[in-house]
Amino acid sequence: MVETLPVCPAPDPQPVAPHFAVPPGACDCHAHIFADFARYPLQANRGYTPAETPLPALFDLHDALGVERLVLVQASAHGTDSRAVLDAAAQHPERIRAVVAVAEGITDRELEDMHRRGARGIRLNLVDRGGMPFRSLAAVKDFASRLEPLGWHVELLVHVEQAPELEELVRAMPVPVSVGHIGYTPARVGLDDPGYQRFLGLLRDGFFWVKLTAPYRISAAERSPYADVAPFARAVVEAAPERVLWGSDWPHVIMRGRPVPNDGDLFNLFAAWVPDAEMRRRILVDNPARLYGFA
């Protein structure tokens, strides 16, 4: 029953200030919005019920952090109804791009319309209920040929260490593939895990983009600084600095009893993982501009 789904707390409204110089054009490459549920209803087949977190609240956060660009990622709670992220991107074409969720039956005309409204990729959530609208990963590979003319990519939420089939998929894909949450491998598994090492090898070989997002989702610690995640973050930056992105994962849904992190703390944690200012600029500005098509 929908009524038994966990209800997510609201994010911390008072982010601490960044402790580093945020470069102009910095991009939050992974955030969600939830608002106006009468207009943008949640799907029944979902794993959680989010708090209302509208776009103006996210803009307030970005203004406090000095972040100028945004990639809104379709949340599994909305299924394949991507209107919320598309409407936001269409209203702010210089500032926002969208990663949408689509069904296999979508037409090329519909994809082209989404592109005009700011979409630059599709998301497949292989972890949370309601997030995988395709029959299989093989079907995704076949579908991806339709994304290539648009310059889109495929974003996966997947535990990379548990998915050896990703190697065959990513080698055959005609478009880039990104993964969230540093690969979504629990830190307790360890950096030397064979599955994660396989992922790092593919990353070094030019496959995958990876997002430095949501350390609280893979850490054994309840609160920042999530020290056990640092080796994973540094490993992906070392493996492919030209294909690493950062995102807030705001508003931090499905915390499963953990305290909601402060977004300023998370941003400062990124700076601790990446102490070199030029590398931070690359991850925050240059890499997102290439993948998402910011001018």
3-state SS string for the chain: CHHHCCECCCCCCCCCCCCCCCCCCCEEEEECCECCCCCCCCCCCCCCECCCECHHHHHHHHHHHCCCEEEEECCHHHCCCCHHHHHHHHHCCCCEEEEECCCCCCCHHHHHHHHHCCEEEEEEECCCCCCCCCCCHHHHHHHHCCCHHHCCEEEEECCHHHCCHHHHHHHHCCCCEEECHHHCCCHHHCCCCHHHHHHHHHHHCCCCEEEECCHHHCCCCCCCCCHHHHHHHHHHHHHCHHHEEECCCCCCCCCCCCCCCCHHHHHHHHHHHCCCHHHHHHHHHHHHHHHHCCC
- Decide: 10 and 51 in contact? Cβ < 8 Å: yes
- Each domain of the chain, given as residue ranges in start order, spans 2-292
Strand bridging mode 209-212 / 96-100:
unpaired
Q: How many CA atoms lie within 13 A of 12 on its CB side?
A: 15
Q: What is the reported pLDDT for 177?
A: 96
Q: What is the reported pLDDT for 294?
A: 97
* Each residue's pLDDT expressed in tens, for the chain with a length of 295 residues: 444 788 999 999 999 999 999 999 999 999 999 999 999 999 998 989 999 999 999 999 999 999 999 999 999 899 999 999 999 999 999 999 999 999 889 999 999 999 999 999 999 877 765 556 777 778 888 899 999 999 999 999 899 999 898 999 999 999 999 999 999 999 999 999 999 999 999 999 999 999 999 999 999 999 999 999 999 999 999 999 999 999 999 999 999 889 999 999 999 999 999 999 999 999 999 999 999 999 8
Cβ neighbours for 188, distance < 8 A, ≥ 6 positions apart: 220, 228
The class level of CATH for 2-292 reads alpha beta
Q: What is the reported pLDDT for 205?
A: 97
Q: What is the reported pLDDT for 127?
A: 73
Cβ neighbours for 251, distance < 8 A, ≥ 6 positions apart: 8, 10, 11, 31, 32, 34, 50, 51, 53, 58
Tokens 């949408």 correspond to: 100
Q: What is the reported pLDDT for 29?
A: 98
The CA–CA distances, whole Å, from 54 to 60, 81, 85, 122 equal 10, 17, 11, 21
Q: What is the reported pLDDT for 237?
A: 98
Q: What is the reported pLDDT for 132?
A: 66
∠ CA 249-164-46 to the nearest 5 degrees? 40
Rounded CA separation 3/5 (Å): 6
Catalytic residue among 60, 249, 263, 265: 249
Rounded CA separation 281/76 (Å): 30
∠ CA 128-106-132 to the nearest 5 degrees? 10
Structure tokens at 135: 């029959």
pTM, entire model: 0.95
Rounded CA separation 191/230 (Å): 10
Q: What is the reported pLDDT for 129?
A: 53
Can 276 be counted among the known catalytic residues? no
